[in-house]
């Protein structure tokens, strides 16, 4: 395999060594989102011979193409429904914004309590992740993380997928660079508009939930600064 090297050793071998080093007796909880990094850590876990069980946290705001990809290609991945009642929860938590993305904890980070979780996070994805170690025990949370590809580049991930002939979600071929929640508040205004056009049903669910939240605030005597639900919606999708 023509793949990047790390200290004189192929990076896939290094990643598998990491998985073997931290393997717990009960096996890993492998968090599987259906994205490119998930397909890589899943394949590495299989090749390394470590014990693991893979889980997809079902989300009402994931692209349907992503869910279909998982169904078609990873039938052994467990579907966990931690996010039931998401739209009702928005009425109490409020609309997620960049500074307060409660939805991540509710949807993506649920599951795996008391376990060592294998995750596909990588340093180059964000400033916060740039300091993540290979293994970390989370303070105040009953879980630990093993990040076997934390120092891989995006090019390295795609190279591995190509060399191994791994399946990947078709949305990548439509130039959706990072898959995940539709209308995530962390995305730009341009990405948001593109997703509204691509997945109008999910966008409508967002808008309907925000309208209900808008009126609920009025009912309990804490109205928002916007005059109408439409103004509120336009502010949220503008990403200001």
Render each residue's pLDDT in the chain as its tens digit; 240 residues: 445 666 678 899 999 999 999 999 999 999 999 999 999 999 999 999 999 999 999 999 999 999 999 999 999 999 999 888 899 999 999 999 988 888 888 888 888 899 999 999 999 888 888 888 899 898 777 889 999 999 999 999 999 999 999 999 999 999 998 888 999 998 999 999 999 999 999 999 999 999 999 999 999 999 999 999 999 999 999 987
Say which CATH number the domain at 53 has.
3.40.50.620
Domain end point (choices 177, 195, 227): 177
Residue 24 and residue 48 in one domain:
yes
Residue 72 and residue 137 in one domain:
yes
Instruction: Give the chain's domain count.
Output: 2
Beta bridge partners of 144: 116, 137
pLDDT for 230 equals 98
End-to-end CA distance of the chain: 46
Residue 164 and residue 200 in one domain:
no
Dist. CA 70–CA 57, nearest whole Å: 11
Residue 128 and residue 71 in one domain:
yes
Q: Domain residues for 138?
A: 5-177
Residue 155 and residue 208 in one domain:
no
Question: Token match 């200290």: residue?
Answer: 7
Residue 115 and residue 196 in one domain:
no
Domain end point (choices 145, 177, 209): 177
**Residue positions counted in the chain:** 240
Residue 28 and residue 108 in one domain:
yes
pLDDT for 151 equals 93
Residue 32 and residue 145 in one domain:
yes
Dist. CA 107–CA 96, nearest whole Å: 12
Residue 104 and residue 200 in one domain:
no
Dihedral angle sign, alpha carbons of residues 67, 130, 152, 19: negative
Residue 145 and residue 235 in one domain:
no
pLDDT for 1 equals 42
Domain end point (choices 137, 158, 177): 177
Residue 107 and residue 189 in one domain:
no
Residue 83 and residue 197 in one domain:
no
Do 92 and 220 contact (CB within 8 A), yes or no?
no
Helix (H) or strand (E) holding 44: helix 36-48
């Amino acid at each position: 395999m023509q793949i990047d090297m790390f200290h004189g050793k192929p990076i896939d071998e290094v990643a598998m060594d990491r998985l073997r080093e931290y393997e717990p007796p009960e096996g890993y909880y492998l968090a599987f989102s259906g994205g490119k990094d998930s397909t890589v850590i899943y394949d590495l876990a299989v090749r390394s011979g470590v014990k693991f069980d893979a889980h997809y946290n079902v989300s009402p705001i994931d692209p349907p193409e992503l869910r279909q990809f998982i169904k078609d290609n990873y039938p052994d991945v467990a579907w966990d429904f931690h996010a039931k009642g998401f739209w009702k929860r928005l009425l109490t938590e409020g609309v997620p914004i960049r500074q307060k993305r409660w939805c991540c904890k509710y949807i993506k980070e649920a599951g795996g309590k008391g376990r060592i979780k294998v995750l596909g996070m990588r340093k180059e994805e964000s400033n916060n992740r740039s300091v993540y170690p290979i293994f970390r025990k989370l303070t105040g949370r009953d879980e630990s993380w093993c990040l076997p590809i934390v120092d891989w580049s995006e090019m390295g991930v795609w190279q591995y997928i190509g060399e191994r002939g791994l399946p990947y979600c078709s949305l990548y071929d439509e130039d959706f660079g990072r898959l995940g929640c539709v209308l995530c508040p962390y995305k730009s205004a341009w990405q948001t508009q593109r997703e509204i056009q691509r997945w109008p049903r999910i966008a409508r669910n967002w808008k309907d939930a925000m309208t209900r939240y808008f009126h609920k605030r009025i009912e309990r005597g804490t109205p928002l600064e916007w005059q109408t639900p439409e103004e509120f919606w336009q502010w949220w999708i503008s990403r200001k």
